[in-house]
Structure 1
Amino acid sequence: MTPARELPRLEVLTWDQMAGRACVWCKTLLTTGAVSAGTIRDQDGAHVLDTEVWACPPCDAGEKPN
């Protein structure tokens, strides 16, 4: 799946966004209807830091501003 827009860097995400509890773009807490926004690929030396992130339906549809 190719994200509709570029995903943010891992360093700028909140704990809730990294845990899949909040939208990757607008930070709204996700309750139902979350949509996979893709995976942020990152690495720190030998440690793989890949993180799957989620979006709320309006952000996934492009209805909310960046």
Structure 2
Amino acid sequence: MTAPVRPLPDLGTLTWDQSAGRACIWCKKLLTTGAVSVGIIRGQLGAHVLDTEVWAGPCCAVAQPQ
């Protein structure tokens, strides 16, 4: 399974669970098994790098034909 190609939300709109990789990036359901990495949201605040890897659960991930 791979996550669908969708634009990632802004870093400032994420909940704590989403930014910590504990919840689906799109539907906010807590992740248990079958999570798929969907990318990294890049961010910076002065010298502080705020890059965050985000995940989608099986709820929002779809199988892609190969």
* CA-based RMSD: 1.6
Q: How does 1:22-33 map to 2 (within 5 A)?
A: 22-33=23-34
Larger Rg: 2
Indicate if the aligned counterparts of 1:39 and 1:52 stay in contact, CA closer than 8 A.
yes
Runs of 4+ in 1 over 3 A off after TM superposition: none
Unaligned runs of 5+ in 2: none
Q: Which has the higher helix share?
A: 1
Partner of 1:40: 41
Q: What is the deviation of 1:60?
A: 2.1
In the alignment of these two chains, the number of paired residues is 60
Indicate if the aligned counterparts of 1:37 and 1:60 stay in contact, CA closer than 8 A.
no
Q: What is the deviation of 1:59?
A: 1.0
Unaligned runs of 5+ in 1: none
Q: What's the TM-score once normalised by structure 1's chain length?
A: 0.84
Query: Which protein, 1 or 2, shows the higher relative CO under an 8 Å CA cutoff with sep ≥ 6?
Result: 2
Cα distance in 1 for partners of 2:39, 2:30 equals: 17
Percent of matched pairs sharing the same residue: 72
Q: What's the TM-score once normalised by structure 2's chain length?
A: 0.84
